[in-house]
A = this chain, B = another copy of it.
Amino acid sequence: MSLAERAEMPSDIEAIRAVTASLAAAAYDKNAAAMARHYAPGAAIADLAPPLVSRGFDVAKAQAWLDDWDGPVEIEMRDLMIEAEGDLGLCHGLQYVRARTRQGEEAAWWSRITMTFARAGRGWQITHEHNSVPFYMDGSYRAAIDLDP
């Protein structure tokens, strides 16, 4: 790669941020296939719902989840910390999801999101994702989907 080419490349931090923005855009468009392109084959995914960890982005499951909402699924990132060295990248922060149920109710929740990236050609692919909410340790074991940062 020439210096001129390199100078035109987004920084690794910008490139990783662009992946998160592309994921949000794909969720808004309810296009799970467009989301899947950002995941490495066999990526380790620890999601809000069981199991503890699954392997590989499940396009059909993601599409069914997106289609279960009425209208777009809006995803915003906050306090996103991005780091990259060599071929290893990661980001962690908070994710705010808003969508409308088929019954017309507005749903919205904050979760904690962490993603690991591997350099893939000129871009970055997600090799690991961890998305969660805490739970109340008051004996209820209720998932804390009602927290604000």
The interface residues of chain B lying within 8 Å CB-to-CB of A141 are 142-143, 145
Chain B residues within an 8 Å CB radius of A85: 85-88
Residue A84 interfacial (CB < 8 Å):
yes
Q: Which of A49, A88, A116, A135 has most B Cβ within 10 Å?
A: A135
Contacts of A23 in B (CB 8 A): none
B135 and A143 form a contact (CB under 8 A): yes
Main secondary structure of the interface of A (DSSP, over half): strand
Asked if A114 contacts B136 (CB within 8 A), the reply is no
A70: interface (CB < 8 Å): no
Enumerate 21 A-B pairs (CB-CB under 8 Å) in ascending A order: A46-B114, A46-B134, A48-B134, A48-B137, A49-B136, A50-B134, A50-B136, A50-B144, A52-B133, A85-B86, A85-B87, A85-B88, A88-B90, A92-B114, A92-B130, A112-B132, A114-B116, A130-B132, A132-B133, A142-B142, A143-B143
Binding site for B on A (CB under 8 A): 44, 46-53, 79, 81, 83-88, 90, 92, 94, 110-112, 114, 116, 128, 130, 132-137, 141-145, 147, 149
